[in-house]
A and B are shown apart, each in its own frame.
Chain A
Amino acid sequence: MPGKLKVKIVAGRHLPVMDRASDLTDAFVEVKFGNTTFKTDVYPKSLNPQWNSEWFKFEVDDEELQDEPLQITVLDHDTYSANDAIGKVYIDIDPLLYSEAATVISGWFPIYDTIHGIRGEINVVVKVDLFNDLNRFRQSSCGVKFFCTTSIPKCYRAVVIHGFVEELVVNEDPEYQWIDRIRTPRASNEARQRLISLMSGELQRKIGLKVLEMRGNAVVGYLQCFDLEGESGLVVRAIGTACTLDKLSNTSAFLPACNSPSKEMKEIPFNEDPNPNTYSSGPSTPLKNQTYSFSPSKSYSRQSSSSDTDLSLTPKTAPSPQGPRIFLFPSSPTLSCDSPHVKKSCLLLSGSSVKPLHCSHVSPVVLRKSVSFTEELLLAASGMGSGSAGKEGGPFKTLLRQQTQSALEQREFPFFTLTTFPPGFLLHVGGVVSARSVKLLDRIHNPAFVGIMGNTRSYKLLDWNSFNSDEPETRDAWWAEIRQEIKSHAKALGCHAVVGYSESTSICEEVCILSASGTAAVLNPRFLQDGTMEGCLEQRLSWQPGFFSIGSEKGEVDFFPQSQDSSSLLGIEEASPPGCGFCHIPYDELNMPFPAHLTYCYNCRKQKVPDVLFTTIDLPVEAIVVGKGCLIQARLCRLKKKAQAEANATSISNLLPFMEYEVHTQLMNKLKLRGMNALFGLRIQITVGENMLMGLASATGVYLAALPTPGGIQIAGKTPNDGTYEQHISHMQKKINDTIAKNKELYEINPPELPEEIIGSPIPEPRQRSRLLRSQSESSDEVTELDLSHGKKDAFVLEIDDTDAMEDVHSLLTDVPPPSGFYSCNTEIMPGINNWTPEIQMFTAVRVSRLSNINPTNQTLNKNFNDLCENLLKSLYFKLRSMVPCCLCHVNFTVALPEDELVQIAVTAVAITYDKNQALQANKAPTEKSQQRASTDNEEQLQFPLELSSDPLSSQPFSPAKEALEGASSHTGIPAAQRATSLEKASPLAEGYLRHRSVPSGTNSTVSVVKMTPLSFLPGAKITKYLGIINMFFIRETTSLREEGGVSGFLHAFIAEVFAMVRAHVAALGGNAVVSYIMKQCVFMENPNKNQAQCLINVSGDAVIFVRESELEALPVPAPTAQPAGSAGDVTT
């Protein structure tokens, strides 16, 4: 599919003065793509040149289109000497290659120079004409969409979630090539920027190919990283989750929801108008219920059937009467089409459940298979036109797939980089699994190299000193090893999949720590296979969260699925309280992979749950949470002897388990200190430096209603007879108890007292304490402790002497809660807050501190590190004080150890304001029984898809109103009222933006506002279009550090420039926001003696167009606006 790339250079403005004599510039522009270069005329003597060039046309093949960036260089013409470069603009044209993303890139781009920063702006227009070419051996993957967002993007529908895709590309780092000694820093930086741009393009193309092979059309949760391995090279690697997505058109969004598209239809990517003839394509649907019954059986099968029978004999307690409330749709006009829909989905469910099909293949094995890709399969399905993975479909292919799948089972990784899932997707969560390995870097010899060589075009770019394609596929093998380990950990937890999966590295000199972590989980197979998931997805559209998780519980599955008619099935599913299914243990109680303390679920009383749950995913929307969440961090330093090569690697590997253990203990203690029982979004980062290791774990603690109340923290003295010691201990104990009480109040943790008589099932003994600091033994802590370790083989013994213990207790108490009006979390949404207002502020803060101790000990280092993080947080709270009440969401800390005594911490997060009044109202709400609340939730959630009918599949950005929803059932016409209130509540800032935008670009508004957020959504707004992925890499260097305001001035300017360039690219694509923004790398190096500094930043995100809800509803629906603002739903609009 070759294409024609057309570029027009319109004008420049604010160029720097290049000719001192005239104070002017004679600028012209070079436009380069691949090996072709065009030039504009020289526009003499102007700082605001108007080139208005012709269309420069590049005829290239699509492979090149995907790999190459468009390179625009602005130069100053000089008659007598060489032309001076003013700066460059790299434009990734990938977004133009999707069938329905951006059609043109047009706008002002900052002209960037790696030495001088931004120097003026240039106005460019870029277009691409693609020609269809059905070459079955093509190397390109145009049309595959990429999303950084780790959930199914809003305004899309997941037809199939195929599974894990990964790829890596290796090259030499230009910075370390011999030529670097003779070229200028600028040339070196540019070579590096260009190379990385090229490599990411190539990587993306290759991943795209894999996706096409899997017959998907998109990658969600795409995470691309660079490993700057120094001498040994440069690795660009990426992971993601392949999906088949369906675009939901705004108008028909609800209707298609009623129809399950036929199998063939869904293979057409971004199909806007799904075929209405639906579940007639039977053979594809039936698997789901079978798999249900089998997936739990996996663990049972290994042993006595006792647990199995136990489960199945568990009496079905009376369904809670609130279930049916789901049917009470608010009588708003938008809901008129409900009832037929309800019927349809019922039918659908029953229809599929009675058909026992493909039994022989249904087993956990199949499940795992289905989520991975296979290359062979792709051969069969390859050769499709752009964006389409093939339309032939049919039984032949199904058969083929099954064969190939079983053949390839060993190679598959059932991993998902998603952190938020369509409701019903996640059945059970086992716990965090992680694996690390320490490797010594050597010169890179990688198979990817061969790939590049075969690709004649890029060959010239890559300046190889030496290569040896016989070398083993080192990096690939390393990662494969780690993934294998993760997979086996998950298996040990009785899980067949890993969700919230991510990989990272930390490199110091020649040592590299590779880490991978995720959450072991049992998934609903219906989402993983073609054709099996429509029913379920359809339903989701109407039912929303909570519904399917219920249905997926093992006990019920054993009893009901095949035989019940639709209504009873529905009834049963309603009966079980929603929002706790994922907490239920996936492993077998009698054969637990580790000692854990289990109790019956506090919500449904039917299934066993652990007493603490750690996960790397976001809080599922259906989860029932008590109170609010909070950011919990564990911080740790460990000294390490300086060593070389293997000795170094060995000492690091020896330290790692202890660090993991300590980090985990800290997390557990801090969690208990806050009276909470679950962690979400857990991310443990271990950073290696010359003489120390640092561990930083961040997570969001919450109180899950389904899990038992956490016990307090008990301090036991070692020498009971010592009076003063005893006193001291009791004093500490009191302090800790006070803190717990205070935190419970702060986070509004008032778990409902379950009247135990009413619930007949065995009441678990409330665990009163978790032993801390002294011993462990039976403690449930180990559920996750073990998960965190390298499998079962490492058994940790907790031995802490008294001073250490004291230190630990002290450090526990030094964590200061955020000032009033602030909450923080590292997940997408803050549990317990749901009334967001549209004002957001994304920021990046970077700190580098010198650990100046002469003889550092672990304790002093720990304290320093702790202080550093705490101060940074404090400083953020202070900076953002004008936004109170607000919540810092997606707080992402990255630690680096650039030099001996330097610690660098970078934080990116977004502050979102919320409406305090509503929060207050929520406070006032008396605690009600969780069951009731849950059902109210359901009801509330129901409004969601109806109201936002255009993106019913999106995961809900806001946790549904819980406490705030007193009496919500009586509310009618909520949506209208909500719109009205949200309109009123638009913050002054937002109004400013609105005004700003509405003003025709006159003298005072030429720059369009682009919002940036690390979240996948914008509060109070609806994303209407995804324009493509933004993935940018910049280098900035200076040789006049002092003159630029020192290191802070230098980095401040650079980060601002990076933001500016991201915004400019988004605006040029026609977007007004970046979601899922992430700064993946910020490598800062300085040499104050030479007055030099260098910094590399890599950022990515999804460019989108959003529309404010208030704008969406140009005219407020004439509805009772007397609706009290208390309906928390308005956040959701």
Chain B
Amino acid sequence: MSSDLDVFVGNTTLIDEEVYRLWLDGHSVAEAVARRLRGGVLEREGTSVAVLQSDTRDHYRTFQMLERLLHAPPRLLQQLLFQIPPERQALLVQRYYAFDEALARELLGKKLSKGTKKELDEVSARTGVGIRSCRRQFDNFKRVFKAVEELRGPLAENIQQLFLLPPALARDYAAIVFSGIWGLWERFWGFLGCPDPPFSSRDYAAIVFFANSRFETGKRRLQFLSFGDFAACAQSMMAHWSQGALAPEAADPDGDLPKSFLQDLKELKVLVSDKDLLDQHKSLVCSALRGKISVYNELEANFKALSRALVNVGGKLTHARDVRDFFVDLVEKVIEPCRSDKWSPGDLRLFLTHYTAAPRNLPGFRHQALWERYMAAISACLLRMYHD
């Protein structure tokens, strides 16, 4: 006696979080049932496999019907078909748009194109994320990207409104979108400039960020960096560099990063181009650090190279083409030398603190505020990235 048709419909739509997760992970009904069995639900509830199958199928059908609405979360709130309590709706959306960091890391800086989608098989194999889940997440990125691409206004807020994501998640999406198009790069600053939000929307912002700006993130020497590292870097950059960070109320409503800031960064070159300044800077930092760090000799020897690298990274940010090398430069010219000299993270921190503070005492250096604003983000990035 086989059941041809078997449905259960509640006036309030039943959402089983466990099954939802299995569905999001891209498991088939049979796989999901197997996993639920392993979870010991039979023993707990004293039911039968048939019941479990029927239940899983019901939930899967519900999710499939919901998926259409999840593509445009505001519709989920307005639709009349499923009666779902608001907190459950929020959960559905958040879980649907949550992503695996390993996958996001792989996708950072890549074009969200069909070609990339075809490569998802490999990505799936590398990251251990199910292929169906990979495709769904990829589609999520793409959907978010398409939706906000042409919108004015702060990226993360747009994402938040269009997809009803928690601010943190929206930010991560923004980061991804951001890494794709230079045009959004500036707007992204504005977006990231808002006060520290909870985790997940930040992640999306980061993704949008990277998708837009096409930071080079895939190089071998950057492999050691996780998605979290990049997201954190993007956020500290946005936090410190965007106009909003300085004066939120004065910020351009579109949140555009003032061109002037990027232009002004060129002024900082004086620190390395002016030999006197460079020497004075070095002596100030060295005297402050003498005896305080274990790698003093190495510091003394490398100071000029380090300083040049740190200053020049900023100078290149005005050009989209150079922006992509931002992380490569930091790793190649700062992190790797320090690592080979066996700097401890504490050493780096001390160095960066004094390196940032020292120009205050440099006669004739007029860009103190700009410098500190710039270095705050750079320091944060470096400290975040300085690991194995």
Contact = CB atoms under 8 A, between A and B. Distances in A.
B142 to A, nearest CB: 17
A908 B180 CA distance: 52
Contact of A1059 (B5, B9, B50, B62): B9
A803 B161 CA distance: 69
B3 A848 contact: yes
A842 B51 contact: no
Contacts of B365: none
A1048 B11 contact: no
B3 A843 contact: no
Nearest to A14: B75
A1059 B65 contact: no
A1063 interface: yes
Contacts of B115: none
A1006 B76 CA distance: 10
Contacts of A995: 86
B113 interface: no
A1006 B78 contact: yes
Given A841-B10, A843-B11, A864-B1, A1056 B77 contact: no
Nearest to B17: A882
Interface in A1032-1066: 1045, 1047-1049, 1051-1053, 1055-1057, 1059-1060, 1063-1064
Contact of B81 (A844, A864, A871, A1057): A1057
Contact of B164 (A875, A902, A1004): A1004
B74 interface: yes
A1009 B11 CA distance: 10
A1009 to B, nearest CB: 7
A1007 B85 CA distance: 10
A843 to B, nearest CB: 4
A845 B5 CA distance: 10
Name the interface size band of chain A.
35 or more
A846 B341 CA distance: 71
Given A871-B51, A996-B86, A110 B11 contact: no
B10 A1084 contact: no
A852 B1 CA distance: 6
A992 B87 contact: yes
Nearest to B47: A878
Interface stretch (B53-61, B151-159, B346-354): B53-61
Given A842-B11, A1052-B58, A13 B83 contact: no
B55 A819 contact: no
B6 A1064 contact: no
B9 A121 contact: no
Interface string A831-871: 00000000001111111111110000000000010011001
21 contacts: A13-B78, A108-B80, A841-B10, A843-B9, A845-B8, A847-B6, A848-B6, A850-B1, A871-B48, A875-B47, A875-B50, A879-B8, A879-B55, A995-B86, A1004-B86, A1007-B80, A1009-B83, A1048-B7, A1049-B61, A1052-B9, A1063-B83
A719 B161 CA distance: 80
A1012 interface: yes
Contacts of A1064: 80
Contacts of A1051: 5, 7
A1053 B83 CA distance: 13
Nearest to A853: B1
Contacts of B58: 879, 1052
B76 to A, nearest CB: 10
B48 A874 contact: yes
B6 A1048 contact: yes
B309 to A, nearest CB: 47
B323 to A, nearest CB: 35
A1048 B80 CA distance: 20
Contacts of A877: 47
A886 interface: no
Contacts of A904: 5
Contacts of B14: 841, 879
B2 A1048 contact: no
Interface in A1052-1083: 1052-1053, 1055-1057, 1059-1060, 1063-1064
Name the interface size band of chain B.
35 or more
Nearest to A906: B7
Contact of A842 (B10, B48, B79): B10
Looking at A877, A879, A904, the one whose CB has the most chain B CB atoms below 10 A away is A879
B12 interface: yes
A844 B9 contact: yes
Given A878-B47, A993-B85, A1009-B83, A849 B1 contact: yes
Interface in B32-65: 45-48, 50-52, 54-55, 57-58, 61-62, 64-65
A875 B82 contact: no
Contacts of A1047: 4-5
The 5 closest A-B pairs by CB, nearest first: A848-B5, A843-B10, A1055-B9, A1052-B7, A842-B11
A1003 interface: yes
A838 B3 CA distance: 34
Contact of B80 (A118, A846, A847, A852): A118
A409 B85 CA distance: 55
Contact of B9 (A845, A989, A996): A845
A640 interface: no
A1010 interface: yes
Contacts of B57: 1048
A30 to B, nearest CB: 22
B8 A1045 contact: no
A296 to B, nearest CB: 46
Contacts of B55: 875, 878-879
Contacts of B8: 843-845, 875-876, 879
A881 interface: yes
A1003 B5 contact: no
Contacts of B81: 110, 118, 1056-1057, 1060
Nearest to B90: A1004
Contacts of A819: 45-47
B64 A851 contact: no
A1005 interface: yes
Interface string B61-105: 110110000000011011111110111000000000000000000
A867 B46 CA distance: 16
Interface string B10-29: 11111000000000000000
Contacts of B78: 13-14, 121, 1006-1007
A1047 to B, nearest CB: 4
A992 B9 contact: no
Interface string A98-142: 000000000010100000001001000000000000000000000
Given A874-B51, A1004-B77, A1006-B78, A850 B2 contact: yes
A874 B47 contact: yes
Interface in A290-343: none
Given A871-B51, A992-B85, A993-B85, 5 more contacts: A875-B55, A877-B47, A1011-B11, A1056-B65, A1056-B82
A867 B3 CA distance: 12
A878 B45 CA distance: 7
A1007 B84 CA distance: 10
Contacts of B7: 845-847, 1048, 1051-1052, 1055
Looking at B47, B55, B82, the one whose CB has the most chain A CB atoms below 10 A away is B47
Interface string A966-984: 0000000000000000000
Given A842-B11, A843-B10, A849 B77 contact: no
Nearest to B53: A875
Contact of A878 (B11, B12, B52, B74): B52
Contacts of A902: 4
Contacts of B79: 14, 1007
Contacts of B86: 992, 995-996, 1004-1005
Contacts of B83: 1007, 1009-1010, 1059-1060, 1063
Interface string A258-286: 00000000000000000000000000000
B61 A1048 contact: yes
